[in-house]
Amino acid sequence: MKKAFVALVAGLALGSFAAVQAKLPPAPPKSEAEKKAEADKAAAAKAKDAADLSKAEDRAVANYKRNHSGGAPAKPK
């Protein structure tokens, strides 16, 4: 029983080592259409990020103007 267990553990260790060392085949090259679609997707994401940043900046400016309306400064304690 002990020999069977040792053989099983050794087999699992060898199998896992072989699986870790295995190399996957290289991915097939992308076609021009796939490259163009990927570039378009990246451009759309960049434009969306720029629009989101602009909106956030506008909200920050509006918040600043609302909270710092130029009234008398608060007296320090």
Q: What tens digit of pLDDT does each residue of 58-73 get?
A: 999 999 999 987 655 6
pTM here? Answer: 0.51
User: Does 32 score more than 90 pLDDT?
Assistant: yes
> Residue 28: what residue type?
P
Lowest mean pLDDT segment, chosen from 2-6, 24-28, 50-54, 60-64: 2-6
pLDDT score at 15: 74
Distance of CA 12 to the CA centre of its chain: 34
**What is the distance between the alpha carbons of residues 7 and 15, in angstroms, rounded to a whole number?**
12
Query: To the nearest whole number, what is the mean pLDDT of the chain?
Result: 86
Cβ proximity of 38 and 30 under 8 Å = yes
For residue 56, report the phi and psi dihedrals to the nearest 5 degrees.
Answer: -65, -40
Residue 29 gets which letter from DSSP? P
Domain ranges of the chain: 30-66
